[in-house]
Amino acid sequence: MQKINDIRRPIIISGPCSAESPEQVLDTAKRLKAINKVNILRAGIWKPRTRPNSFEGVGAIGLDWLIEAGKEVDLPVITEVANAQHVEVALKAGFQKLWIGARTSVNPFTVQEIADALKGTGVEMLVKNPINPDLNLWIGAIERFQNAGLESVNAIHRGFSSFKSERYRNEPMWEIPIGLRTEFPNIKLICDPSHICGRRDILEEVSQKAIDLAFDGLMIESHISPDEAWSDAKQQITPEVLGELLNNLIVRDLETDDQSFFDSLETLRGKINEIDEDLVNLIAKRMGIAEEIGAFKKTQNITILQPERWEEIKNLQFAAADKANLSKKFIIKYLEAIHQESIRHQTSVMNKK
């Protein structure tokens, strides 16, 4: 059995969101095999849905469909499990690779039950990020499987739920998987653009972003007739379109032996370090002025927060950011952090006995 850790980057996992029939699974598998880029065949057997009247998967009967399709095209297979009972029947069917979804990884009790059910099995496990943007919860889920003795535990980034997103089904929040990589530098990190995007037209864009951020692979849903899919139709593509998408990706090297590159890089990094130090000193200077303002407010007995002034600052900085080609999203986060730190400094001055 080829292990995920041994597959050359980028690892490509694909197949339908949901197994619907033996014919659908096998036809998808054959068409994926034909593009000669897919390493692992996937399909959802149990589909935990938000509302109970949605299609929730064909159930255990679909396990054999996926196993047989994998044998037919000589591809390893993987599916999602959401509880210990799923693990039991998946193991009996012959699965050696499994993943848990975002709705499962958010619950430490369920994760522990699944980890306990997998002790001593040698199964390879992929852990999707939890629904909410909590890095420690994701880390904890991975640790539970590692503590259960599984030698191959890797991660899938599928984005995070938000109340409203103008562009994505699930916000990517790339800083969180980057933080996971820092915590676990040796695990494989797979991106799931299908669930981040929720639509086909930006799949390639998000896939390229993931590859540029040194992700090890992609999990992209494919279907023989995407518009007729029983679940998540809008985010699925045909195997042939997947082949075109993968052909368009630029896969960059993770490292180089070119010494001139390193010399130039170190020079530029040195400049970055100098600028970062200047930024910290400027922010410290700004906070000093904020403390002076706090002391002045104290003499006049007025509140720290002045909403009109805060709106004025934001509008000025939004205009400056637009001219400097800085995203509004970045400036909002920057200003919020600056504002909170400024309030902290003024509070310490105004409440000083």
pLDDT in tens, the chain (353 residues): 678 989 999 999 999 999 999 999 999 999 999 999 999 999 999 987 666 777 888 999 999 999 999 999 999 999 999 999 999 999 999 999 999 999 999 999 999 999 999 999 999 999 999 999 999 999 999 999 999 999 999 999 999 998 777 799 999 999 999 999 999 999 999 999 999 999 999 999 999 999 999 999 999 999 999 999 999 999 999 999 999 999 999 999 888 889 999 899 999 999 999 999 999 999 999 999 999 999 988 888 888 888 899 899 999 999 999 999 999 989 999 999 999 999 999 999 888 87
Q: Quick one: pLDDT at residue 101?
A: 96
For the chain, give every residue range classified as CATH 3.20.20.70: 4-248
Residues of the chain with CATH 1.20.59.10: 259-350
| Predicted pLDDT of residue 1 | 65
pLDDT for 87 equals 97
Contact 157, 218 (CB under 8 A): no
SS3 string, the chain, reads CCCHHHCCCCEEEEECCECCCHHHHHHHHHHHHHHCCCCEEECECCCCCCCCCCCCCCCCHHHHHHHHHHHHHCCCEEEECCCHHHHHHHHHHCCCEEEECHHHHCCHHHHHHHHHHCCCCCCEEEEECCCCCCHHHHHHHHHHHHHCCCCCEEEEECCECCCCCCCCCCECCCHHHHHHHHHCCCCCEEECHHHHHCCCCCHHHHHHHHHHCCCCEEEEEECCCHHHCCCCHHHCECHHHHHHHHHHCCCCCCCCCCHHHHHHHHHHHHHHHHHHHHHHHHHHHHHHHHHHHHHHHHHHCCCCCCHHHHHHHHHHHHHHHHHCCCCHHHHHHHHHHHHHHHHHHHHHHHCCC
Q: What's residue 50's pLDDT?
A: 66
Distance CA 31, CA 27 (A): 6
Distance, in Å, from the CA atom of 271 to the CA atom of 90, rounded to the nearest integer, reads 54
Q: Phi first, then psi: what are they for 4, rounded to 5°?
A: -55, -40
- Predicted local distance difference test score (pLDDT) of residue 103: 94
| Residue 147, pLDDT score | 97
Q: Would you identify the CATH topology of the domain 259-350?
A: Chorismate Mutase Domain, subunit A (1.20.59)
Instruction: Classify domain 4-248 at the CATH class level.
Output: alpha beta
- pTM for the model: 0.86
Quote the pLDDT of residue 49: 67
